[in-house]
């Protein structure tokens, strides 16, 4: 009986993602996925830079000289933001796994803390790099 009821019941559905208002922890969640994907795509670039920086004194100097370009420093800052954002949001997920901040208020608050912390760190590092 229960199965029949579920099948025939017409529930209101809204799967149009542009009309769904995503709550703040949801925004953090999708940013976590996007930054993760971005970091994965940047992996070969950073492995290559790491390799070059360790290979020879000349290649080390080449990697170091890349920092002379403002554009490269901006890209680096973008990468650092991705890393910090993914890192801090990840710590929040670890805390949630430990049942810390699982309630609605706690989840909203910790999301704000993550965004505030990542933005502050970015501004500090940005001032240092640029």
> Least Å distance between CB 113 and another protein?
17
In this complex, which beta carbon is closest to another protein, that of residue 43 or of residue 102?
A: 43
Is 32 labelled as part of a ligand binding site? Answer: no
For residue 85, the minimal CB distance to another protein (Å) is: 14
Angstrom CA distances, 120 to 50, 51, 67, 86, 117, stand at 27, 31, 23, 15, 5
Closest approach of Cβ 56 to another protein, in Å? 8
- The alpha carbon of 14 is separated from its chain's Cα centroid by a whole number of angstroms, namely 27
99: left (phi over 0), alpha (psi -120 to 50) or beta: left
Coil, helix or strand at residue 41: helix
Q: Which residues bind another protein (CB under 8 A)?
A: 33, 36-37, 39-40, 43-44, 47, 50-51, 53-54, 57, 60-61, 87, 90-91, 94, 97
Residues annotated in a binding site: 86
Residues annotated in a binding site for heme: 86
């Amino acid at each position: 009986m229960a199965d029949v009821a579920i099948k025939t019941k017409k529930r209101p559905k809204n799967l149009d993602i542009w009309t769904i208002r995503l709550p703040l922890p949801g925004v953090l969640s999708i940013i976590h996925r996007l930054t993760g994907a971005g970091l994965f795509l940047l992996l070969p670039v950073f492995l290559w830079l790491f390799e070059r920086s360790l290979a020879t004194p000349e290649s080390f100097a080449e990697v170091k000289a890349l920092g002379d370009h403002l554009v490269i420093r901006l890209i680096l800052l973008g990468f650092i933001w991705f890393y910090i954002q993914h890192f801090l949001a990840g710590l929040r997920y670890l805390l949630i796994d430990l049942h810390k901040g699982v309630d609605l208020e706690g989840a909203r608050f910790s999301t704000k803390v993550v965004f505030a912390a990542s933005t502050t760190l970015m501004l500090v590092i940005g001032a240092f790099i640029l």
